[in-house]
Amino acid sequence: MPRRYGPFGGSFVPETLVPALHELDRAWREARRDPEFRRELRRLSETLGGRPTPLYFARNLTRRARGAEIWLKREDLVHGGAHKFNNALGQGLLARRMGKPRLIAETGAGQHGVATAMIGATLGLDTEVYMGSVDMERQKPNVERMRLLGAKVIPVTTGARTLKDAINAALRDWIANVRTTHYLLGSAVGPYPFPAIVADFQSVIGREIRTQSVRAFGRLPDLVVACVGGGSNAIGTFRPLLRTKVELLGVEAGGPRGSKGAGSLTSGSPGVLHGSFSYVLQDQDGQVSDTESISAGLDYAGVGPEHAWLKESGRARYIAVHDTDALRAFHWLARDEGILPALEPSHALFAAVAEARKRPSTQHVVVTLSGRGDKDLGVVLGAAR
Ligand SMILES: *Cc1c(COP(=O)(O)O)cnc(C)c1O
């Protein structure tokens, strides 16, 4: 696992956090080599998390696209309803190994908060989750879930009151309580070693795609597609395929038509946010822009540094999909396949259908369905009114 991604990455943090980041890096490197840790991670991934998740042939959606075959990597079936569990479990086990009795986390859509609350309960760790008050309003069911799972949800009322501000609040808490607390960061962002750790725990997605696609259709896919908020489900999908010829497509939130949305790679520029050098949506003075997206999970001005490098090096492509198109794809999957996707992967689904249309029926497109749509019903019904 690299510490730097070309010019991107690094750890731009206050000095008080440096020892904690070193401790975390050491613990993670030791844990990766420890067969006991790997056994426990695997056991809980399977028996609690429900892994491996299926690779599903979306026959009706393929018929709609009239082109390449579309296959879905079903992370919506993971315990808790999203891929977030993969990372929360891994880091929760790391926290226990480091002897930290308390977990803190930030959350946008609420999915990472729910995953952390579940793992906190499973492993017997105190859990507190920072959440922007705007996000608490639009993702109410997940706020209730976190509370039922025994976590404390702390509203963040600074800035735009969304994910960026929740991360700032969690970082402040961590600085103050670093001896007893593990900051369970929810995406492939932040200072090193977080992007590497999160990518590592999410890479199970791409490893399973590798073996399952060979089993299902005899070879690797031609293209994999994943949505990009901070970039964890996408890097987990891409990483095990980096040294192959598989095309990689990341899909950001374009927001409402005519807005700048939340596409840091597609509309932003290089800069530092939350401790790492990557792409950021910012103005000419380097002030971080407010973002806009129908999906709380993609509503973030930054992105993981490894994606910045994959873009710059040309290994992966990134595009943005607008709110209305994501909603269209949501309804396609509901009607065609009987699956309610989360709004985040609905962005990727729209792009996958558009790509499949351009390709012959002999090709295979795999799209990572990062989560299920139950949490978004209010937003989807509101949009239809
Ligand atoms: C959080 C979330 C995302 C965005 O986060 P990434 O780190 O970019 O994966 C995407 N989909 C779902 C369902 C989420 O909950």
Residue 16, CA distances (Å) to 5, 13, 27, 341, 355 in order: 24, 8, 18, 41, 47
- Contact between residue 42 and residue 312 where contact means Cβ atoms under 8 Å apart: no
Nearest-angstrom CA–CA distance, 50 and 187: 21
Kindly report whether the peptide bond that precedes residue 345 is cis, defined as omega within 30 degrees of 0: no
pLDDT tens for the chain, 385 residues: list them.
Answer: 678 999 999 999 999 999 999 999 999 999 999 999 999 999 999 999 999 999 999 999 999 999 999 999 999 999 999 999 999 999 999 999 999 999 999 998 899 999 999 999 999 999 999 999 998 988 888 999 999 999 999 999 999 898 889 999 999 999 999 999 999 999 999 999 999 999 999 999 999 999 999 999 999 999 999 999 999 999 999 999 999 999 999 999 999 998 989 999 999 999 999 999 999 999 999 999 989 999 988 989 999 999 999 999 999 999 999 999 999 999 999 999 999 999 999 999 999 999 999 999 999 999 999 999 998 998 999 987 7
Determine how many CB atoms are found less than 10 A away from the CB of residue 192.
Answer: 23
Ligand 1 atom at minimum distance from 236 CA: 9
Q: Phi and psi of 77, rounded to 5°?
A: -90, -5
Ligand 1 atom at minimum distance from 108 CA: 1
Nearest CA to ligand 1 atom 14: 297
**Ligand 1 centroid from CA 233, angstroms:** 6
- Contact between residue 28 and residue 96 where contact means Cβ atoms under 8 Å apart: no
Nearest-angstrom CA–CA distance, 357 and 220: 19
DSSP 192: T
Nearest-angstrom CA–CA distance, 115 and 193: 20
Residue 20 token pair: 């904690």
Pocket of ligand 1 from Cβ distances under 6 Å: 82, 84, 109, 111-112, 187, 227-234, 297-298, 342, 344-345, 370-371
- Contact between residue 280 and residue 268 where contact means Cβ atoms under 8 Å apart: yes
Q: What is the phi-psi region of residue 167: left when phi exceeds 0, alpha when psi lies from -120 to 50, beta otherwise?
A: alpha
Kindly report whether the peptide bond that precedes residue 193 is cis, defined as omega within 30 degrees of 0: yes
**Ligand 1 centroid from CA 314, angstroms:** 23
